[in-house]
């Protein structure tokens, strides 16, 4: 048994379960659903069921196939009213003191008479899980257990698991379905990081004969990689160990690829909102001719042209021979 894995002992008060199923013709007790849920908690070491099996002969085959030890209690008028309950309590207390490696007890019943047994097991440092029908489970027992599971909740799926393609080979489909069930089990147990080794351990607890080579893969990592390729799970590689970690179901939607065509590849530099204005040259105070001209002539449009000084106009002389004479 791996370090940190819990060892479970399961005690089934079958007569109490039968009361919950009484009058429901469309429903039958399925022990496989109970065991599949409990293997998510740890490794089951002991499995015992108590009842007058002459009255419940229809369930004996299924319980035998699940490797459950059937403790036969004679009819009530021969052994008393609560003989099954008393025998269950004696076996549980005996196992509590004699088998120290068993750290979790599962009481499959809703009878409040087991509440003192739960308290005594908790006094000795054992964890207690209860399981029963909602209609026939006492609130006293439900509140006293460390955890209580209703049988009706076993039939409700957790979330929406991905669909497995029908075109896949039968062995590959079987392996992918076991993988999905194991991941759902770990999510239900509130595991924060789903390491690949943790997923494989859960798969082997659910199906002890599991082997990745039977499903056509050389290693378990190849199975995980192929499951991601078919859109069943999403993986990431741990930077330190280099192993796979399951991060979710389905294909990963790449947001960057969707938003890429919307954004231009080359971004143009934005134009400034303001424009530079050319500096105006102030007219010289010593130039009397320039002051009489229009201000527009002194406001050059180009800064480079303003740097070149304009030629000063020459004053006409009286003896200029080229000066035109007035017409008389």
Position 119 scores a pLDDT of 95
Under 8 Å between Cβ of 70 and 49: yes
Burial annotation 87-97 (CB, 10 A radius, 16+ → b, else e): bbbebbeebbe
Give the span between the Cα atoms of 230 and 234, in whole angstroms.
10
Position 131 scores a pLDDT of 93
Under 8 Å between Cβ of 127 and 103: yes
Give the span between the Cα atoms of 56 and 59, in whole angstroms.
6
Query: What is the pTM (predicted TM-score) of this model?
Result: 0.58
Position 294 scores a pLDDT of 47
Position 136 scores a pLDDT of 82
Q: Which residues pair with 70 in a beta bridge?
A: 49
- How many residues does this entry show for the chain? 328
- Which residue numbers in the chain have pLDDT < 50? 79-80, 253-262, 290-306, 328
Position 154 scores a pLDDT of 79
Under 8 Å between Cβ of 66 and 44: no
- Tokens describing residue 309: 């000084």
Q: For residue range 174-212, what is the model confidence (pLDDT) as tens digits?
A: 888 888 888 888 877 767 788 888 888 888 888 888 888
Q: Up-side HSE of residue 135: CA atoms within 13 Å toward CB?
A: 9
Burial annotation 142-158 (CB, 10 A radius, 16+ → b, else e): bebbeebbbbeeeeeee
Position 144 scores a pLDDT of 93
Domains and CATH numbers, the chain: 6-155 (3.40.50.1010), 170-258 (3.30.420.610)
Give the span between the Cα atoms of 264 and 271, in whole angstroms.
17
Give the CA distances from residue 316 to residues 10, 42, 213, 312, in Å, rounded to whole numbers and listed in that order.
129, 119, 115, 13
């Amino acid at each position: 048994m791996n370090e940190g894995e819990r060892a479970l002992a399961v005690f089934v008060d079958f007569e109490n379960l039968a009361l919950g199923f009484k009058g429901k013709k469309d429903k039958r007790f399925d022990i496989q659903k109970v065991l599949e849920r409990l293997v998510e908690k740890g490794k089951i070491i002991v499995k015992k069921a108590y009842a007058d099996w002459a009255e419940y002969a229809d369930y004996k085959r299924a319980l035998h196939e699940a490797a459950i030890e059937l403790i036969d209690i004679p009819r009530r008028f021969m052994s008393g009213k609560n003989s099954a309950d008393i025998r269950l309590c004696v076996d549980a207390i005996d196992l509590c003191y004699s088998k120290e490696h068993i750290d979790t007890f599962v009481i499959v019943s809703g009878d409040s008479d087991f509440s003192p047994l739960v308290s005594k097991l908790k006094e000795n440092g054992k964890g207690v899980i209860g399981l029963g029908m909602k209609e026939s489970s006492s609130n006293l027992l439900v509140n006293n257990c460390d955890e209580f599971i209703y049988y009706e909740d076993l039939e409700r799926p957790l979330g929406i698991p991905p669909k497995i393609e029908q075109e896949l080979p039968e062995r590959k489909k079987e392996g992918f379905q076991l993988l999905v069930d194991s991941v759902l089990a770990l999510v239900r147990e509130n595991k924060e990081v789903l390491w690949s080794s943790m997923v494989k351990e859960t798969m082997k607890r659910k199906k002890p004969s599991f082997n990745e080579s039977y499903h056509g893969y050389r290693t378990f990592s190849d199975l995980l990689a192929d499951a991601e390729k078919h859109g069943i799970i999403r993986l990431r590689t741990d930077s330190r160990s280099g192993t796979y970690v399951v991060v979710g179901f389905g294909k990963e939607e790449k947001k960057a690829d969707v938003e890429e065509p919307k954004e231009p590849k080359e971004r143009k530099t934005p134009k400034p909102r303001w424009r530079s204005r050319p500096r105006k040259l102030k007219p010289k105070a010593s130039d009397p001719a320039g002051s009489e001209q229009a201000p527009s002539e002194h406001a050059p449009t180009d800064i480079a042209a303003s740097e070149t000084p304009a030629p000063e106009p020459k004053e006409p002389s009286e003896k200029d021979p080229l000066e035109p004479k007035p017409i008389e």
